[in-house]
């Protein structure tokens, strides 16, 4: 039963990793851009939620999403239009360097504004609530996180294949020069993609802040977990991203079951094994 419990808990943890990864997968699928600052943007969203709950005393962190999601989406659009679009082209190095610089700026700005002290979003009873299912004790918060990850990915998939914006995303990704000639504003489409990505990042940041403490320096590890989930699932495949997050989460909890110090390492080993045997991931194509 302990091993089954570890698998179930790892699956629920995978929901959080899928939220970390969904924005990365979206941006790569549309723009072929690897956003090195993605982990720091997750942490930024957590701090924005912290500020919102402090300013509006007693506000639940999940309600703060009403403020944080539009702020992050607006930041994503402006960031893409004002900075990242200027670096997009045949060479992948300039966007990598710019997003690396953005990562450093965000970390230092958060350090200056909030200090290095760990912070946490207070969600009250939700943090400790649990239900018994078939002899297993499931935390209500991890279940909510996993359900949210499924809903977010399903929503992104629907946007991609059933809306005009999604058609613009796919057309711009496949034939960027041609759609520009046909009157579609590629810069605007890329801006909308980044806005949508950072709206998802806001959700990930708030759940991160509720589940664990955070500080300005943890963005790098969140980026690694998200990146590993994307690679395991397959680049550009949103449902594959969810599968990748679950595989990573289960690997970590099983590793912790063997030895607590083996938790994070176990996830990295599984990632490397999959990367060595399936370089394009387990589900490399996005299917509608």
How far is 230 from 221, CA to CA, in rounded Å?
Answer: 14
pLDDT higher than 50, residue 287 = no
Of 186, 204, 187, the C-alpha closest to 23 is 204
pLDDT the model gives residue 125: 86
How far is residue 134's CA from residue 98's CA, in Å, rounded to a whole number? 50
Residues of the chain with pLDDT > 90: what percent?
60
CB contact at 8 A, 245 and 16: yes
Mean pLDDT of 119-148: 88
| pLDDT tens string 72-94 | 999 999 999 999 988 887 778 88
- Per-residue pLDDT, averaged over 108-117, amounts to 93
**∠ CA(216), CA(218), CA(223), 5° rounding?**
125
Quote the pTM value: 0.92
Are 199 and 79 contacting, i.e. CB atoms less than 8 angstroms apart?
no
Stretch 131-135: mean pLDDT: 81
Q: Is the pLDDT of residue 286 over 60?
A: no
In whole angstroms, give the CA distance from residue 6 to residue 82.
45
Percent of the chain with pLDDT over 70: 95
Parallel, antiparallel, or unpaired for β 130-133 and 136-139?
antiparallel
Cβ–Cβ under 8 Å, residues 84 and 101: no
Instruction: Check residue 148 and report its DSSP letter.
Output: H
Please tell me the predicted confidence (pLDDT) of residue 283.
84
C-alpha–C-alpha distance, residues 128 and 141, integer Å:
8
So what's the pLDDT on residue 5?
Answer: 87
Which ranges constitute the DSSP H helices of the chain?
2-31, 38-55, 61-82, 93-114, 140-162, 164-174, 176-181, 186-211, 219-233, 238-258, 263-277
What was the pLDDT predicted at 234? 85
Mean pLDDT on 123-149: 88
| Average pLDDT score over residue span 45-52 | 94
* Whether the Cβ atoms of residue 15 and residue 245 lie closer than 8 Å to each other: yes
Mean pLDDT on 103-128 = 92
23-37: pLDDT as tens digits? 998 998 888 888 999
Confidence bin at 288 (pLDDT 50/70/90): very low
Domain ranges of the chain: 2-122+132-161+187-277
CB 38 within 8 A of CB 23: yes
Q: What tens digit of pLDDT does each residue of 168-219 get?
A: 888 887 776 666 666 778 889 899 999 999 999 999 999 999 999 999 999 9
d(CA 101, CA 87): 13
What average pLDDT is seen over the chain? Answer: 89
Torsion sign (Cα): 142, 159, 231, 91:
negative
Distances (CA, A) of 222 to 25, 184, 188, 287: 14, 34, 28, 27
């Amino acid at each position: 039963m302990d091993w089954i419990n570890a698998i179930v808990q790892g699956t629920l943890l995978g929901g959080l990793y899928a939220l970390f990864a969904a924005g990365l997968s979206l941006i790569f699928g549309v723009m072929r851009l690897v956003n090195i600052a993605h982990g720091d943007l997750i942490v930024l969203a957590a701090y924005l939620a912290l500020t919102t709950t402090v300013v509006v005393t007693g506000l639940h962190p999940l309600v703060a999403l009403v403020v944080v999601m539009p702020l992050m989406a607006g930041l994503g659009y402006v960031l893409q239009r004002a900075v990242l679009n200027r670096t997009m082209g045949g060479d992948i190095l300039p966007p990598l360097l710019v997003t690396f610089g953005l990562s450093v700026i965000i970390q230092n700005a958060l350090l200056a504004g909030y200090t290095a002290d760990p912070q946490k979003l207070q969600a009250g009873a939700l943090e400790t609530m649990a239900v018994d299912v078939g002899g297993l004790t499931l935390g209500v918060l991890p279940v909510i996180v996993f359900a949210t990850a499924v809903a977010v990915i399903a929503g992104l998939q629907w946007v991609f294949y059933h809306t005009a914006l999604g058609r613009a995303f796919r057309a711009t990704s496949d034939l960027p020069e041609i759609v520009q000639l046909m009157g579609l504003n590629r810069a605007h489409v890329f801006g909308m993609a980044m806005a949508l990505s950072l709206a998802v990042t806001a959700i990930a940041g708030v759940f991160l802040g509720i589940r664990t403490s955070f500080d300005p320096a943890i963005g790098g590890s969140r980026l690694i977990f998200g990146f590993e989930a994307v690679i395991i699932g397959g680049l550009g495949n949103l449902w594959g991203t969810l599968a990748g997050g679950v595989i990573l989460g289960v690997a970590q909890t099983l590793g912790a079951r063997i030895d607590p110090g083996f938790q994070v390492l176990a996830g990295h080993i599984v990632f490397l094994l999959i990367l060595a045997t399936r370089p394009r991931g387990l589900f490399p194509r996005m299917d509608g």
